Structure 1
């Protein structure tokens, strides 16, 4: 299981605490493999880009108009977090549904 997120993100910390065996990947330093990002975008097209973040609000209109995958490659902290890869499945966020799907109680 791999957990893609930010080490400074509270939600990622909560997820990692509940999933101690997960291999944590900091998206700022290690990034997300292009194939995983493409799969995540195909699965979560409207949710992968966090448009409510302060990072999003700090972008110019020109940057906001870029294709989402290009924008996420340039600004990985814009990704909704965490992105969890487990047994060939992708999960986005740390909601009750995601926790249930991963067997976290």
Structure 2
């Protein structure tokens, strides 16, 4: 079964959920804010998605971080920040079992 990682009140995540539901695709929703992000889950995601691709530098959470946390960030710092602040992950993330799709635009899930 596919897993969609996101946040309940995110408009893009809602559109992604609706797309999967409309297609009748079975999936499980993992709310990053409520369900959290474990180190094991983060490593699973990072097996298929580069760490700096997964880091959402346009999020409200990113903008609220101290400047010291945001300058000259490397992969280890990004991991630590994402574990401390799961909403720093780009979303939605769809784990299809074979691949992880980052973000969503209308039509992205049509070929599933």
TM range (shorter): 0.7 to 0.9
1:6 corresponding residue in structure 2: 7
Q: SS at 2:12's partner residue?
A: helix
Residues 7-42 of structure 1 deviation map (CA, whole Å, 9 limit, x = unaligned): 010000000011122200100111234334224334
- Measure, in 1, the Cα distance between the counterparts of 2:105 and 2:54: 14
RCO higher in structure (CA 8 A, sep ≥6): 2
Q: What is the TM-score with the length of structure 2 in the denominator?
A: 0.76
User: Are the structure 2 counterparts of residues 39 and 31 from structure 1 closer, same or farther at C-alpha, using a change threshold of 3 Å?
Assistant: same
Structure 1 gap segments, 5+ residues each:
none
Pick the structure with greater CA Rg.
2
Structure 2 gap segments, 5+ residues each:
none
- Coordinate RMSD, CA, aligned: 2.2
| 1:96, distance to aligned residue in structure 2 (A) | 5.9
Q: Which runs of 4+ in 1 moved over 4 A?
A: none
- Measure, in 1, the Cα distance between the counterparts of 2:106 and 2:34: 28
- Measure, in 1, the Cα distance between the counterparts of 2:108 and 2:80: 26
Q: What is the TM-score with the length of structure 1 in the denominator?
A: 0.81
